[in-house]
Structure 1
Amino acid sequence: MAPETAARPLVPVSVRIQSGDFDISEEIGALTAGRADIGAVASFTGLCRDEGGRLSALELEHYPGMAERAIRAIAEQAVERFELAGLTAIHRYGKIAPGGNIVLVVTCASHRQAAFDGASFLMDYLKTDAPFWKKEHLKDGGAGEWVSAKDADDKAKARWRSKP
């Protein structure tokens, strides 16, 4: 008979795709409230840039349901791989003006490195694999471009291919 092992407690994972903005402090508070097992919280907030003053908005599109499933799958991998104590991932869609929030990733863990690595891992996959499409809207009224993936994002994700 195999030795009995302690089951890992249920880890809160929240994945949301929404058009409205989010409050970073509220999201961190919701993830950590009443928790004494957390020693570290890491967060990343992605903002819309104005691209040198030429952009009036960035429009993000997604497939509802598909985007949530894809993000949840990688979020659950992050929880397992880095032994996270909780994770929140929020990605917005619609037209977002420069300076506006686009994405939030919050991870918590017993120790800081796990929280940092979990957040970085999730963001690297969001930048390359999450099913979102981005179109620029220009200040001069001209037709904007669809934003292509960058080689640097693929290179950043590649570092996670090996096991920790």
Structure 2
Amino acid sequence: MANFQPFNGTITMISDFMTGLNEESIGCNKLMSVDNGYGAIVNFVVTPDTYFIDQVMVAIGDKVTGFYDADAPAPLIFPPQFRAIVMTKNIPYQNVKVDYFNSQLESSDGKLRLNIAPSTSIVLKNGQAFTANPTNRNLIVVYGPTTMSIPAQTTPYKIIVMC
């Protein structure tokens, strides 16, 4: 089970990122600097495996949230550099949570419980339908309003199963 952590901010730089000596990898990986506006900066390494919600294109000045595995090894440099697992462009009235959801579809931090409706789209990262039970898995959840309860409850618009 990964320890997914979000970082919100504005993209201040996008550049190519070399991961090896292979010329075929040039342009395939990006380094995105994200500034939260309060003095914290994170550099995200964006690879072809990074999942972008709705395959949206991002640019300098966009407000985004990047999710990374806080337990994964990272170089001890400043600003911190993490491999982005999921990126989303911040859109009003749309929330995204990346986490492990248990058998009651409650997130590992106990802050969100999912109520799946017939209209909830449940798919794989490649866009194909997911036909099994989404419980006890790492999920990318796209949702709107929540209840004021603890944990907050929501009926998600879309669930992407991270197999």
For the aligned pair, the TM-score class normalised by the smaller chain equals under 0.3
Which structure features the higher share of strand residues? Answer: 2
TM-score, structure 2 length as denominator? Answer: 0.25
Q: Which is richer in helix?
A: 1
